[in-house]
Amino acid sequence: MWVYPRPQFWFEQLVVNGYQDHPWREQFRVSRDTFEHICGLVGPELVFGYETKIRNRPIVLEKRVAVALWRLATGNSYRTVGLTFGISRCTAMNVKDEFCTALLRRANDFMKFLKTEATTRQTIQEFQDIRRFPQVVGALDGSHIPIRPLKEDSNEYVNRKSFHSIVLQGVAGANGKFLHVSTGYGGSIAMLACYE
């Protein structure tokens, strides 16, 4: 036996067929409609790229997106994510990595930084209308996402508040949509936005 059988019930039955929008949002940090939009966005990249398989059968797109979002939303270990979705630890890691690579390839479809003088002036005016703060083109903020300590280079992930984390930094426009996101650096690194 080269594959350990794992229960497949949770995602296939409870999530796909039974979860309403509120529990869905609570578990995956996105609405069900947004989840379906993400599937449509990364689907072409995941279908034509490397496909993670169990017993030579591909894992369906929706489950792969759910595994990746679950890992990113909860920070659970790959072992826990694998047990939750009925896949191996290694498969959970591969699925998340494939998803992030696909999402990065499609970033220009949903994140656009200001490129023309006209859009820059419009954005400045939108921020001015909201808070009367002049010459703003983006709101920058960051957050530490807690993680479990790693076996190697653990100290690089200890932040100024003395817990292990990775750094997330984002820039949003006046409408609240992200213009740029950067994440994955160890918590000990202080990030500062740098745009060309």
* pLDDT, tens digit (0-9, with 9 covering 90-100), for 95-104: 999 998 998 8
Calculate what percentage of the chain has a pLDDT beyond 70. 79
Residue of higher predicted confidence among 160 and 122:
122
Biggest alpha carbon distance in the chain?
66
pLDDT value of position 49: 46
pLDDT value of position 52: 55
Upper half-sphere CA count for residue 139 (Cβ side, 13 Å): 13
| 105 three-class SS | helix
Calculate what percentage of the chain has a pLDDT beyond 90. 12
Q: What are phi and psi of 147, to 5 degrees?
A: -135, 165
pLDDT value of position 3: 54
pLDDT value of position 30: 77
Mean pLDDT of 101-123: 83
CA 183/CA 189 separation, integer angstroms: 11
> In the structure encoding, which two tokens stand for residue 51, read together?
């496909």
Q: What is the mean pLDDT of the chain?
A: 79
Return the closest-CA partner of residue 149 out of 137, 140, 141, 158: 158
Residue 9 confidence class, pLDDT cut points 50, 70, 90: low
The reply to whether the predicted model has a pTM over 0.85 is: no
Q: What is the pLDDT of residues 31-65, one digit of tens each?
A: 788 888 899 999 988 875 445 555 567 788 888 99
